């Protein structure tokens, strides 16, 4: 092999389509653009969602709903997750290290799902009313 005879593999390169170059090419005359109209002309195009001046669909429909920007920073854990956790003093850092919440999480809330039979002390973590009652019934505390 020499530098002067290196070439691309067969079929890996193909010639660019040349439009508007006569009948024989199959794309002569209107060059695949059809007849007349905005899209047939040079520079004639419009933005996405444009409906020829008619009120576009995304503006005809009512606005609805809300997406919280804080949702990705909030997390929930179950009582059963606390039961499986090896430590007694639980805070945000221990939950991150255990892999129960993501690294982005800033606030955590315990929800009443599952059973808790051991004493657990929560620091800087919220809890629902039911979860709080279950934790305190097991001898734990929430600070």
* Whether residue 84 is found in the same domain as residue 137: yes
Inside any domain, residue 12: no
Looking at residue 130, its pLDDT comes to: 95
Inside any domain, residue 55: no
Domain count, the chain: 2
Q: Please spell the DSSP secondary structure of the chain, one letter per residue.
A: --GGG--PPTTS--PPP--SS-GGGS--TTTTS-SSSGGGSTT----TT-BTTBPPHHHHSPP-----TTGGGEEEEEHHHHHH-S-SEE-HHHHHHHTSS-TT--EEEEE--S---S--EESS-EE-HHHHHHHHHTT-EE-
* Whether residue 78 is found in the same domain as residue 136: yes
| Residue 126: CATH number of its domain | 3.100.10.10
Interval 93-111: pLDDT, tens: 999 999 999 999 999 999 9
Decide: 75 and 101 in contact? Cβ < 8 Å: yes
Inside any domain, residue 2: no
Range of the domain at 26: 18-49
Interval 12-29: pLDDT, tens: 999 999 999 999 999 999
Inside any domain, residue 66: no
The answer to whether residue 127 scores a pLDDT higher than 90 is: yes
How many whole angstroms separate alpha carbon 27 and alpha carbon 5? 34
Looking at residue 15, its pLDDT comes to: 92
Interval 23-79: pLDDT, tens: 999 999 999 999 999 999 999 888 999 999 999 999 999 999 999 999 999 999 999
Inside any domain, residue 98: yes
* Whether residue 75 is found in the same domain as residue 134: yes
* Whether residue 134 is found in the same domain as residue 76: yes
* Whether residue 38 is found in the same domain as residue 76: no
Q: Rounded to two decimals, what is the model's pTM?
A: 0.56
């Amino acid at each position: 092999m020499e530098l002067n005879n290196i070439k691309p593999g067969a079929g890996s390169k193909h010639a660019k389509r040349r439009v508007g170059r006569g009948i024989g090419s199959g794309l002569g005359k209107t060059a695949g653009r059809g007849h007349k109209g905005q899209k047939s002309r040079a520079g004639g195009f419009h933005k996405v969602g444009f409906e020829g001046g008619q009120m576009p669909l995304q503006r005809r429909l009512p606005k609805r709903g809300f997406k919280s920007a804080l949702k990705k920073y909030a997390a929930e854990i179950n009582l059963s997750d606390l039961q499986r956790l090896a430590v007694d003093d639980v805070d945000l850092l221990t939950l991150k290290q255990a892999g129960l919440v993501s690294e982005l999480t800033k606030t955590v809330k315990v929800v009443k799902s599952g059973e808790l039979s051991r004493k657990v002390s929560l620091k800087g973590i919220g809890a629902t009313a039911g979860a709080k009652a279950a934790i305190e019934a097991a001898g734990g505390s929430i600070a």
